[in-house]
Chains A and B, each alone.
Chain A
Amino acid sequence: MPDTVVRARAIQVRYRRGGALAVSGVNLDLRAGAGLLITGASGSGKSSVLRAVLGLAGPGGEISVLGAPPGDPATLRRIGWAPQSWPFGYGLRAREVVEMVAALRGQDPGEAGRAIEEAGVGTPDARVEALEVEDVRRTSLACALVGQPDLLVLDDPWEFPETTAAIRRAMDRGAAVLAASKDPGGLPGLLGAGLHLVDGAPG
Chain B
Amino acid sequence: MSGAQVIGRVEARGISRRRWAMVVLLVGAALIVAGAIVAAGRNGLAATDTMRSWTAGVELVVGLVLAAALGASTFNRDADAGWVGLQVATGTPRVTVALGRIAGRLTVLVAGFAMWIAVAAIASAVIGQGGDQDLVVHGCAMLGNMVLVLLAAALCSVALGPVASAIVAAFAFVSCLSLANLMAAADAEVIGTSWTGFITALYLLFPRAITSPMLSDMQARGVADVAGAQLEINGNVVLVPASSGAAIVWTLLWCLALAAAAALAFRRRALS
Contact = CB atoms under 8 A, between A and B. Distances in A.
Is B truly associated with A? yes
A156 B65 CA distance: 38
Contact of A73 (B1, B86, B92): B92
Interface stretch (B8-16, B176-184, B206-214): B8-16
Interface in B57-112: 78, 81-83, 85-93
B83 A89 contact: yes
A56 B15 contact: no
Interface in A113-147: 127, 143
Which of A81, A89, A101, A143 counts the most chain B CB atoms within 10 A? Answer: A89
A97 B6 CA distance: 11
Contacts of B13: 91-92, 96
A54 B84 CA distance: 13
B272 A83 contact: yes
Given A83-B82, A84-B82, A90 B18 contact: yes
A84 B89 CA distance: 14
A160 interface: no
A75 interface: yes
A74 interface: yes
Contacts of A104: 3, 6-7, 87, 90-92
B86 A91 contact: no
Contact of B270 (A58, A103, A127): A58
Contact of A77 (B1, B81, B90): B90
Contacts of A101: 86, 90
B10 A100 contact: yes
B245 to A, nearest CB: 38
Nearest to A146: B90
B81 A73 contact: no
A57 interface: yes
Interface string B1-29: 10100110011011111100000000000
A51 B90 contact: no
Interface string A64-103: 0000000001111111010111111111100011001101
Query: 6 tightest CB-CB pairs across the interface, nearest first?
Result: A87-B82, A77-B91, A91-B14, A76-B91, A104-B90, A91-B17
Given A58-B270, A100-B87, 20 more contacts: A15-B270, A16-B270, A51-B272, A56-B89, A56-B271, A57-B272, A73-B91, A77-B90, A81-B90, A84-B82, A90-B18, A91-B14, A91-B17, A92-B10, A100-B7, A101-B90, A104-B3, A104-B6, A104-B91, A104-B92
10 contacts: A73-B91, A76-B90, A83-B86, A83-B272, A91-B16, A91-B18, A92-B14, A101-B86, A103-B1, A104-B92
